[in-house]
Structure formats: structure tokens, C-alpha cells
Structure 1
């Protein structure tokens, strides 16, 4: 089965779920800091809106305009798509939910984008996300193959064996870190996760690496 036939239905469903979850947010909730440093909930939704509408040529054009600075390109995209009223931004994401545009990157990045940014928003708001287990594992496997400089998290798990507590799937070699796949995905993607959610003889080292990076 072609990868696009499994990735896009998950991405489209996650966009719809997120829109539904955020439909009744208050103004204060929209301003809640997300797990992305410097971005609030509204910023992340605007970023998701920007990436949903950005194809290969648009990605290259945005990067050139940002003088090859990926972070600046993201900030420019947020400024471009962020409406004065966050509900309008959410409505735009709803309208773009079925788009299949993507930058020139592995299609697994769309899973990472949908799931990690979904949690960037939901966890600070106390909302529970529901993601297909296989999609979370695919996103985690991709992040572990990809360096931090390219948006992945390979270095964060160097010398460790990450084990999905639910399925028993494992990645890497070394001291064991066991946890829920979604927590492992967030951690290797550079997001703060409660160290108590991990176990195994490599858990303390894994948590220590993540904490030192965030200081």
C-alpha cells in the first residue's frame, strides 16, 4: 500500500479532531503557552494552517524569503495565517483540513506535524488526544532516523533502546527506556515530558538529557 494512502487519512482526521476540540476555547485559553517555546495555542494553530497550505514550491519560496532560516520561515508563516480572531484561524484550518500539500520531505513528517503539534496544544489545555497507534509509532521511527538539525530527535536517543510499553515495539540499542509511544515521540521531538512517565535502566539518563536541553 502506498504511504500516502495511510498517512493522509490520519492527517485529515487529526485536523478535524483538533478543530472540534478547540471550538469552544475562551480567549484566555487561546493565549495559553503551548509546548513550543514562544508559541501560544493560537500560534500553533496558525502554523498548522500555514503548513496545510504549503506545497513544495511554496516551501522553497518561503525559505528563500526567510534567507534560508527555517525558524524565521515558520514565524513568517504564522504571521501570514494568524487572524485577529483565533476562531477565524480555526475556521481556516477546518476549511483546509482535506488538503494534501506537503514540503519536499518524507511524508512521515506530516504525521509528526499533526501528532506532535496536536499535543503541543492539547496538553497545556488539559485535553486528551487520540491518535492511531501505528501512526504514532511511524512518527517516532521517523524522528529517531532524523537529526535534530532537520527537525528530528536522533541524538536525544543515542545509545538507548526505546520501547513502546503498549506494543512492545522497540527502536535503537543500549539502555532501555520504556514508555507510551506518544510520550517517547514528544520527548525525542524536544517537548517536555514528565520523567515519571518513563521506566527502565536508561530512563534517568534519557530524562536528564531532555532536561539539560531545556535549561
Structure 2
């Protein structure tokens, strides 16, 4: 399954705007709620999204050199750069950056992975239901299944499993069965914790048991 660059950016831009709308009414304490990213709260993830929206190839390489090739440090530096004292100002920064088309030196589909996975990183702890285009989730999932964990993907996590999208019946891989909504499969493959009851099949415990994992599927390799 492929999509044009214009179609990918349209989905990414739409998702950024939806996330801004979803977070607009948060209480002060909700910004400090732990996200699904280990060590990051909701405000941290938001600042990271601002950073990646504004980071192109040249800046990405520069930031990585400044961080001495340490991706964790580069991500932390990016968060510090864009995290405002008032989370509402950080949210406004994402609103202003929503339609940018900058990307690090990685496949464009990683922008979809970032938008959806990080969107769920903050929405699920806040009890907010995400609304994603099915084809966008599938594009992101297929990319994660093909990409090694060391490069921000989840290929090893899905090894020996057959993943089936409960909504469409589409399936990937061979081995023990795991059935779930596509977004849950994407999160689990990306190393996020997924409620065991959201997955079915004899391979479900194996996939659900792979979390936690890398918390930033934005670049290669990840945080």
C-alpha cells in the first residue's frame, strides 16, 4: 500500500490540527500526566512534536552532532528548546507548525507513524479517543512491520506472529494469531503498552508483552 507525498502530508497536517483541538481544554495537572512514552509527560510529547515539525534534514544532522550522536540527548534537547513554561503556548506553537512539511532524513511515512503513535501516547492516558484514517494507520503499521526496532520500527516484535486487523480482515506475517484494531496493532508493534483485552489470539500475550520500547518512532534510529 502506497500513498503520494501530498496525501501523506495531508494526513499529517490534519492529525496535528486534530491533536491541537483535542488538547485545547486540558487542566494544568493533565499536562503533567505521564504519556505512553517512558519518562515523558503529555507536555513533553507535545514539545517533541513541535520540534520534529520544525526540524528538516540539515537541522536534524546539526542537532545530532551537537548531541554527540546520542538520539536520546538530541530528543531531550529538542523538547527543552520548544517546551514553554505555559503548555498552552507550546500548543499554540504546534498549531503554527501544523502545516509545515519538514522531515528528518527518513522515509516520509515515518511522519504518519509519529503523528498517530505520539497522538495515542497522549490521548490514551487522557481518556481521549483518537480519530485516524484507516489507510493512514495501515501505512504506518506496514512501515513498522518492515523496519527494525533499532531504526524505530517493530519488525522483531512481530516476528513469528500473524497480525489481523479486526476491522478489515487484512493480515500481515505468519505464525501465532493476533487480532485487534489496526491502531492497537500499530501501538503494540511500536513498543507501546496495549490493554491485553484489546488483542485476541494465541499470539496476543507475545505481542502485548513486547512493551515498553523506543518512545520516538520519528527518526532512524529512535529515542
| TM-score of the superposed pair, with normalisation by structure 1 | 0.96
Could you tell me which residue of structure 2 aligns to residue 48 of structure 1?
49
The equivalent of 1:6 in structure 2 is: 7
1:195 and 2:193 are equivalent in the alignment: no
Deviations 1:7-42 (A, max 9, x none): 000000001001011111111011111000110000
Instruction: Report the counterpart of residue 167 of structure 1 in structure 2.
Output: 168
- Indicate how the Cα distance of structure 1 residues 209 and 83 shifts in structure 2: closer, same or farther if over 3 A, else same: closer
2:31 maps to 30
Q: 2: CA distance between counterparts of 1:207 and 1:31?
A: 26
| CA deviation string 1:156-178 (max 9, x = no partner) | 01011111010111111111111
Q: Could you tell me which residue of structure 1 aligns to residue 67 of structure 2? A: 66
Question: Distance in 1 between the 2:143 and 2:126 partners?
Answer: 27
Return the alpha-carbon distance in structure 2 between the equivalents of residues 208 and 120 of structure 1. Answer: 17
Per the alignment, residue 179 of structure 2 pairs with 178
Task: Show the counterpart of 2:17.
Answer: 16
Is contact 1:41–1:121 with CA below 8 Å preserved after alignment? yes
Distance 1:159 1:165 in 2: 19
Identify the structure with bigger relative contact order (alpha carbons < 8 Å, sequence gap 6+).
2
Instruction: Map Cα deviations across residues 87-145 of structure 1 (whole Å, 9 max, x no partner).
Output: 00000100010000001101110000000000000000000100000000100000011
In 1, are the aligned partners of 2:179 and 2:201 still within 8 Å (CA)?
yes
Deviations 1:174-199 (A, max 9, x none): 11111000000000111100111111
CA distance in 1, matches of 2:90, 2:111: 20
Contact 1:3/1:107 (8 A) holds in 2:
no
**Alpha-carbon distance in structure 2 between the residues aligned to 1:4 and 1:176:** 33
| Structure 2: distance between partners of 1:210 and 1:96 | 31
State the 1:2 CA deviation.
6.0
Number of matched residues?
Answer: 213
The CA distance in 2 between the partners of 1:148 and 1:25, in whole Å, is 33
Structure 1 unpaired stretches of 5+: none
- Runs of 4+ in structure 1 deviating by more than 4 angstroms, as ranges, are none
TM (norm. structure 2) is 0.92
Instruction: Please say if residues 189 and 207 of structure 2, whose CA atoms lie closer than 8 Å, have aligned partners that are also in contact.
Output: no
Equivalence for 1:108: 109
C-alpha RMSD of the superposition:
1.4
Q: Higher helix fraction: Structure 1 or Structure 2? A: 1
